[in-house]
Chain A
Amino acid sequence: MPTRRDSDAIIAIVDDDLSVCEGLDTLIRSAGWRAESFASAQEFLARAAAEPPSCLILDLQLPGLSGLDLQKRLAEIGLAIPIVFLTGHGSIPTSVQAMKAGATEFLTKPVDEEDLLRAIHEAVERDQRFRKQNAEMRELQNRFESLTPREQEIMRQVVSGSLNKQIATELNISEFTVKIHRGHVMRKMHAGSLADLVRMAERLGIGARKTARASREQGSKSSTKVL
């Protein structure tokens, strides 16, 4: 069930049939979301970049650019919008293809109210999680970028477990200078402890060993979703 918090979420509907569009539009609005209808993929693409919707209800058979084509295009331009596919007569191969490409749900018309609203709800939540993660990531990156090159170098050394003395020897500077830089790094990165800083470095992908493990974890997560 939608909560007051996600009532700002925009749900986009792309279907060339007016009856379907209007029906979904009123249903989505009655559930508390905002709805926007588009008669074709092209029409949607022209609009999407400005204010990406939280969820896309997409008809599989569209004139011109088909639903699957649109999904591909969105991935290409980096718009990760959760997609709920609708189809009049879904075949297994197309639904598998759609889900592999990251579709949230695959529903057949006439769509069941509960199924649709739950799918939208999930999509919106996922989108919000996504957006939050994106926002945190962007903040971390901003912090990291505010570091001087020397500070960034010292942060890499610190999170890889080197002692101040080792760093000073490596960089051919005094141990004191290392301490001062290290203090700047901790402050600029808003890190309360060394453990904090290490977690941040991990998310930023600093430190080769740990980054590889992280990406492997993510891959297994998405394949689980498909199965």
Chain B
Amino acid sequence: MNTSGIAANRSAAHPLARALRPINLRPYGLAVLSVAVALGLGLFLQQLHFRDGAVPLLLFAVALASCFGGRGPAVLAAILSMGALYWYFVEPVRTIGIYPSEIPYFIIYAAFASLLSWFGTNRRRAEAVLREQASLLDLTHNTVLVTDMEGVIKFWNRGAEEWYGWTAEQAMGRVVDDLLKTVHPAPVEQMKRELTRKGRWEGEFVHTRKDGVRIVVASRWSLERDGCGDPVAILETNNDITERKQAEEALKRSEAYLAEAQRLSHTGSWAFDVANNAYIYLSDECLRIFGLDPKTALPTREAIFRLIHPDDSDRVNHDFRKSVYEKVDTSSEFRIALPTGTMKHIQTTRHPVLNDAGEVFEVVGTVVDITERKRAEEERERLRQFESDLAHLNRVTMMGELAASIAHEVNQPLSGVVSNASAGLRWLAGETPNLEEAREGLRRIVRDGKRAGEVIARIRALTRRTVAATEKLDANEIIDEVLPLVGDEAKKKSVKIQTRFAADLAPIAGDRVQLQQVVLNLVINAMEAMSSINQRERELVITTSNMESYQVQVTVEDSGIGIDPEKLEKIFDSFYTTKPGGMGMGLSISRSILQAHGGRLWAARKDRCGTMFHFTLPRYKEEGVNADAARL
């Protein structure tokens, strides 16, 4: 491109430049001087009896004049040298007449002289052209340099000076590959062969600038040939493509990262041309998800939609149309059945792209293979169900452990009922029935009957298999409701249960049954831990308090044997138990219940003796009320 530009310039500028140039006398002077010097030398050689030395000398003068002066001086030098030859050297010397013997001699000389001047002039013109080209080449910002066939720099334009850092004076005469520490992409010989064959070569090099910075250049070479068609010089134009190269590489890298990210996240992307009703882009991962070969042509819309499970396809179509016609983002989950028989769960998200007129012309989107996630969700659900079963089992087991205590709790009011009823019959039996006593007895029967009923209801609630429900709860109340179930057990084990409740305890959010289960677990454990203590009081203290950070804390502490510090965490493991016949699930279940509530459960040693179990629960948030109200 550059070379053709220069060629065009040459044809336009050459005649104009010549017409405007004033006549320069210096070349003519040079012609006269060179002939004069040749003549002087010739005469001197003649004195030394070397008569024929003058001819080559004079021819040399002609050549010199033609080389440096051009056609005019060359003709002048030729005429002068012929005159000098005729006068001084051709026999008979210093005569005017022309003898036939002299004619061939002159013809040969004239031919030689004109040949030489023709060569010289040609050469000179070529150089002038080159210089002109060079001055033009200085105007371009590209780096342009000319080397001979050995790579020696003959020309170095301003662009090259600016870009590489060496001035023309510093660069000229150096071998280009040494100066620029060229790193060739291909063997040099191969390049040269191609250059010679085609006259041009294109490629990329790595060059090192004067300041040591390595740059990538796109290089175009063209071969300059002399009149005979022999290569004489190489014109090299170089463009710095380092930035482009870096951008290309960055793009390539980012594309690679994107492809990797898509592969890792099982996310594919696609673009759909609405007007042509066809996909215009499907990422490799997208194709892989649909079980298609990335190397083949883009599949049609039908080919993609055929894979969708028949039960889901109407819904997917509807969502797709919604994106196109309502210009909104949509998302659908569906299943695809691959020809291999595998079923995948896919989630796709669509975004309509609008043109300037506000019409949808493209829909872009993603597809995510959520098969694994679905499977994990199912697994989690199963696990949750299992945990719930286990929790239920744990509650039932606890109730079994407490059976005697619970029976007692029911028996006490029942005992009251029987006594009051028997007494009532007696009060009414006499001749003057004591109605007041009988009435009082009936009132107590009602009260005691209800009390027994409440205990039974509490047990039923705890042993029922319920779905966890979040409600606003009072932790104090939860503890109070549980304690009657263990009252007799505590009495039998001589355990004194104390409660230190915060009067202004903040409400909490949670499932009543599950939280009662946790309290019951901790209380039973605490009583168990104290069963071997005889030298001090068996004290079980339950404390509730409001914590900072919107938490409510419940602490159950005993004066039992305590737990080794290194086992304080281990006790929360499943199947870890210190009780003979214990399942080792109680604390593990309690902890998972609290975690599900957004709370924590941990154990700590008491300073003197015994263990403290703390658990925290987040306070009830008022937004919850609205949410619940909305749900209800």
A residues lining the B interface (CB < 8 Å): 16-20, 22-24, 26-27, 29-31, 61-63, 88-89, 109-111, 113
- Residue on A with the closest CB to B427? A30
| B126 CB, nearest partner CB in chain A, Å | 127
- For residue B617, CB closer than 8 A to chain A, the reply is no
Task: Determine if A109 and B415 form an interchain contact, defined as CB atoms under 8 angstroms apart.
Answer: yes
Q: Which residues of A contact B492 (CB under 8 A)?
A: 61
Task: Determine if A110 and B417 form an interchain contact, defined as CB atoms under 8 angstroms apart.
Answer: yes
- For residue B328, CB closer than 8 A to chain A, the reply is no
Partner of B423, one of A19, A27, A62, A88: A27
- What are 5 A-B contacts defined by CB distance under 8 Å? A17-B416, A23-B415, A30-B434, A62-B491, A110-B417
**Chain B interface, DSSP helix/strand/loop, else mixed:** helix
Q: Which of B417-452 contact A (CB under 8 A)?
A: 417-420, 422-424, 426-427, 434, 437, 440-441, 444, 447-448, 451
- Residue on A with the closest CB to B430? A30
Q: Which residues of A contact B415 (CB under 8 A)?
A: 17, 19-20, 23, 88, 109-111
Partner of A88, one of B417, B424, B488: B488
Q: Which residues of A contact B444 (CB under 8 A)?
A: 19, 22-23, 26
Beyond the given pairs A23-B416, A61-B488, 13 more chain A to chain B contacts, judged by CB atoms under 8 angstroms and listed by A's residue number, are A17-B412, A19-B447, A22-B444, A23-B417, A26-B441, A27-B426, A30-B437, A61-B408, A61-B491, A88-B411, A89-B408, A109-B414, A113-B418
Q: Which residues of B contact A16 (CB under 8 A)?
A: 491
Task: Determine if B423 and A29 form an interchain contact, defined as CB atoms under 8 angstroms apart.
Answer: yes
- For residue B404, CB closer than 8 A to chain A, the reply is yes
A26-B488 contact, Cβ under 8 Å, with A19-B413, A19-B448, A110-B414 = no
Partner of A110, one of B404, B411, B427, B491: B411
Per the bound structure, the CA–CA distance linking A94 and B413 in Å amounts to 23
Task: Determine if A89 and B404 form an interchain contact, defined as CB atoms under 8 angstroms apart.
Answer: yes
- For residue B390, CB closer than 8 A to chain A, the reply is no
Q: Which residues of A contact B408 (CB under 8 A)?
A: 61, 88-89
Question: How many B residues touch A, CB cutoff 8 Å?
Answer: 30
Q: Which residues of B contact A27 (CB under 8 A)?
A: 419-420, 422-423, 426
When A and B form their complex, which 4 residue pairs have the shortest distance between CB atoms, in order from nearest?
A23-B419, A19-B416, A30-B426, A113-B422
Q: Which residues of A contact B491 (CB under 8 A)?
A: 16, 61-63
Per the bound structure, the CA–CA distance linking A61 and B448 in Å amounts to 20
Q: Which residues of B contact A20 (CB under 8 A)?
A: 412, 415-416, 419
Q: Which residues of A contact B411 (CB under 8 A)?
A: 88-89, 109-110
| B36 CB, nearest partner CB in chain A, Å | 148
- For residue B407, CB closer than 8 A to chain A, the reply is yes
Task: Determine if A31 and B426 form an interchain contact, defined as CB atoms under 8 angstroms apart.
Answer: yes
Per the bound structure, the CA–CA distance linking A62 and B488 in Å amounts to 10
Q: Which of B484-510 contact A (CB under 8 A)?
A: 488, 491-492, 496
A23-B407 contact, Cβ under 8 Å, with A17-B412, A30-B437 = no
Q: Which of B396-412 contact A (CB under 8 A)?
A: 404, 407-408, 411-412
Task: Determine if B407 and A89 form an interchain contact, defined as CB atoms under 8 angstroms apart.
Answer: yes
Q: Which of B101-127 contact A (CB under 8 A)?
A: none
Q: Which residues of B contact A109 (CB under 8 A)?
A: 411-412, 414-415
Task: Determine if B418 and A26 form an interchain contact, defined as CB atoms under 8 angstroms apart.
Answer: no
Per the bound structure, the CA–CA distance linking A109 and B444 in Å amounts to 17
| A212 CB, nearest partner CB in chain B, Å | 42
| A89 CB, nearest partner CB in chain B, Å | 6
- Residue on B with the closest CB to A27? B423
- Residue on A with the closest CB to B419? A23
Per the bound structure, the CA–CA distance linking A63 and B451 in Å amounts to 21
Task: Determine if A24 and B419 form an interchain contact, defined as CB atoms under 8 angstroms apart.
Answer: yes
